[in-house]
Amino acid sequence: MRMDIADFPIVKMDYSAPYRVDFREILDGLDELFAKQKPFVIIGEGESSQEEADQSKAKEVRVEIADWANQRKALLNRWVLSSFMIISDPKKLEDMQLYAPIFEKFWEYPFVMVASKEEAYQKASALLAAE
């Protein structure tokens, strides 16, 4: 996974990129974004490799991420307006929509599946403009 903040307040997450950093650096990066005290949106795309999926399922990793998220519920809710996940495959898009309520309950912000990068940017821009 890789996080790109060059276009803040749009934050890009590439889930297909191999871990180049420890997942804690991604969490630290989010902490830095919270310190800006400005709303932002996340646009994600790509699928994790099997190795990354296995790592993210490790109990100690899940516990650490859950602890981090629980300590920052108010920040997540306040500053992350939404996450838009680009999924061009209609079947995968449908499958991921079943996952959205679980994601939203854990992370405290909306998780919206979109079919294209253009749709993601349009929705993100509209959401940011309304802020």
Q: How far is CA 82 from the centre of its chain?
A: 8
Q: Are strands 2-4 and 10-14 parallel, antiparallel or unpaired?
A: antiparallel
Q: What is the pLDDT of residue 49?
A: 54
Q: What is the pLDDT of residues 65-122, one digit of tens each?
A: 999 999 999 999 999 999 999 999 988 888 888 889 999 999 999 999 999 999 999 9
Share of the chain above pLDDT 90, in %: 63
pLDDT at 18 over 80: no
Q: What is the pLDDT of residues 33-73, one digit of tens each?
A: 999 999 999 999 987 655 555 555 577 888 899 999 999 99
Q: What is the pLDDT of residue 24?
A: 87
Mean pLDDT rounded to a whole number for the chain: 89
Give residues with Cβ within 8 angstroms of 61, minimum separation 6.
23, 55
Q: How far is CA 112 from the centre of its chain?
A: 10
Share of the chain above pLDDT 70, in %: 89
